[in-house]
């Protein structure tokens, strides 16, 4: 808690956001001694912190302080080696939603840069990505109204839509696509589309179906010649494999090493997927005509 005898610092500023103290935040900004975009120790601005943590009321008093400071979330994520959208998964799930949407409005009204990226280590994110990942649609809409861009990328070349599909919030993803997000945008490292990330990370059928219905290419290839179907097979997402096949994924495609999905499934001993692929292959074989 800040006492009036000590000088205001950026640490007080970030603490005001972390503990959801709107009054202190406003007083600090009105004092003019702290810049609104000053980063915390891990390179995250106050807007980045507020955007990912949500829009509801004060946290329950009984909530433990474990992970309450978003800096701790980022520190643990860094130590665990999480990259891109997966970084935020190191957080305690109960903490991300307990910051008022009003904090975002206060920061934006005081001139924070909605497109500013952090520079903390191997991940470079911005507030819109974090809000999309966390599923805070009202924050996403607000940031877009105030100039946040869909085209910004993190250091891995991922866009806000890549982050959103990792978060798995269909309402946010649907709105993003309606607002003009390119459904088959590729990242800069692996040339993965959002659908490819679903195949690699979550296997979320609802998200995959939403992307495909919006025009995502089920047979797109990454830099190694892998398709979403191949990646789903490798990650043993059996139900997603079924969905992709039903949506037109080509099971006969080979990667750059000449390997197909059935071979990949056998190498990695994906027994359920092997059975699924073999049964589908049998059904597609032409029936032999009976000789009379």
Q: Give 220's contacts (C-beta < 8 A, 6+ positions apart).
A: 184, 193, 195, 196, 227, 228
pLDDT at 57: 38
pLDDT at 64: 37
Tokens of 76: 């643990």
The domains spanning 1-158 and 183-283 adopt the same CATH topology:
yes
List, for the chain, all residue ranges whose pLDDT scores fall below the cut of 70: 1-8, 54-100, 119-125, 286-292
pLDDT at 126: 80
The pLDDT tens digits for 187-234 are 988 999 999 999 999 999 999 999 999 999 999 999 999 999 999 999
d(CA 17, CA 50): 7
Q: Give 208's contacts (C-beta < 8 A, 6+ positions apart).
A: 195, 198, 199, 228, 240, 243, 244
pLDDT at 119: 61
d(CA 288, CA 141): 58
- Class for the domain spanning 183-283: mainly alpha
User: Domain locations in the chain?
Assistant: 1-158, 183-283
pLDDT at 15: 83
Instruction: Report residue 243 CA to chain centroid gap.
Output: 22
Fold for the domain defined by 1-158: 1.25.40
% of the chain surpassing 90 pLDDT: 43
Considering Cα of 158, then 206, then 142, then 38, what sign does the dihedral take? negative
pLDDT at 8: 65
pLDDT at 250: 95
């Amino acid at each position: 808690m800040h006492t009036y005898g000590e000088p205001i610092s950026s640490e007080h500023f970030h603490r005001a956001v972390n503990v959801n103290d709107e009054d202190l935040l406003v007083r600090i900004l009105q004092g003019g001694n702290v810049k609104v975009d000053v980063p915390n120790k891990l390179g995250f601005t106050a807007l980045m912190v507020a955007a990912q943590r949500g829009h509801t009321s004060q946290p329950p008093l009984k909530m433990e302080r474990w992970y309450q400071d978003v800096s701790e979330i980022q520190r643990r994520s860094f130590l665990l080696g999480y990259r891109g959208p997966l970084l935020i998964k190191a957080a305690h799930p109960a903490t991300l939603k307990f910051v008022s949407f009003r904090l975002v409005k206060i920061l934006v009204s005081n001139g924070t840069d909605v497109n500013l990226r952090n520079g903390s280590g191997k991940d470079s994110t911005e507030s819109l990505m974090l809000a999309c990942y966390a599923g805070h649609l009202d924050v996403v809409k607000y940031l877009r109204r105030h100039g946040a861009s869909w085209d910004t990328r993190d250091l891995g070349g991922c866009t806000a839509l890549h982050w959103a599909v990792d978060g798995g919030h269909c309402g946010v993803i649907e709105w993003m696509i309606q607002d003009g997000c390119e459904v088959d945008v590729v990242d800069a490292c692996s040339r993965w589309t959002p659908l490819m990330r679903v195949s690699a990370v979550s296997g979320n059928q609802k998200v995959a179906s939403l992307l495909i219905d919006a025009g995502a290419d089920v047979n797109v290839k990454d830099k190694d010649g892998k398709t979403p179907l191949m990646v789903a097979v490798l990650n043993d997402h059996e139900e997603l494999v079924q969905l992709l096949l039903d949506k037109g994924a080509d099971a006969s495609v080979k990667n750059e090493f000449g390997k197909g999905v059935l071979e990949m499934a056998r190498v990695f001993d994906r027994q359920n997927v092997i059975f699924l692929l073999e049964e589908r292959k049998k059904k597609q074989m032409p029936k032999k005509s009976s000789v009379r």
